Amino acid sequence: MAGDPAAAADLNTLGDDIAYLYSLVQGTTFSGVQLTRTTDQTLATGAGEYVSWNSQIFDFGGWWSTGTAITVPAGAIPDGFTRIAILVFGRIKFESDDTGARRIQVHVNGTSVGSRTVGSLTGGDPTDIQISEVTTVEAGDIVKLEGYHTAGHNLNLSACDISVLRYAAVD
């Protein structure tokens, strides 16, 4: 009835609705992609190679269609801005081998924006490398994850995954 105080549950719902509408206006609604590789990918020694993704966990905003490239969609950039900050989380597991080093890199438009190198694990254990980076991108920029090793022979990559998440508008 008119004049009756609103129930706490109604006020909470109204607050949630206002916060959601505000996030739409500010361009802070969730946007990003998470991909995985469900089969092994063979990587030659001494040659960096991009992980070729074959399975999508989620894609909010149209970041990926097929292959190695994650393309920053124009819709991820709020009106009035030209760049966004993204968070990139990557993982590559190299098959077990006691020789050489292993490396994981995040690339934007073919240039490394983050790298992590470790020695191979001994004792028959696979070497599992993870990386997290924050960088800025524009619509149309390409994000890729690269694996590299110096085992002296081919190694299989398995358990590869990547998440690229829009963090905030920049300018």
8 domain-assigned? no
| 123-156 pLDDT, tens digit each | 888 999 999 999 999 999 999 999 999 999 999 9
Number of structural domains found in the chain: 1
Arithmetic mean of pLDDT, 6-10: 73
Q: How far apart are CA 131 and CA 92, in angstroms?
A: 9
Q: Which two tokens stand for residue 140?
A: 């149309």
Give the tens place of pLDDT for each residue, 39-53: 999 999 999 999 999
The CATH number covering residue 89 comes to 2.60.120.40
Residue 113 is part of which domain span?
30-170
Sign of the CA dihedral running 71, 31, 139, 117: negative
Six token digits for residue 145: 């994850």
Give domain status of residue 22, yes or no.
Answer: no
Q: Is 154 inside any structural domain?
A: yes
**3 in a structural domain:** no
pLDDT in tens, 14-32: 666 676 566 656 655 789 9
Instruction: Please indicate, yes or no, if residue 90 is contained in any of the structural domains.
Output: yes
Q: How far is CA 114 from CA 46, 106, 118, in A?
A: 19, 5, 14
62 residue type, one letter: G
Position 44 in a domain: yes
Identify whether the C-beta of residue 124 lies closer than 8 Å to the C-beta of residue 96: yes
Is 21 part of any domain? Answer: no
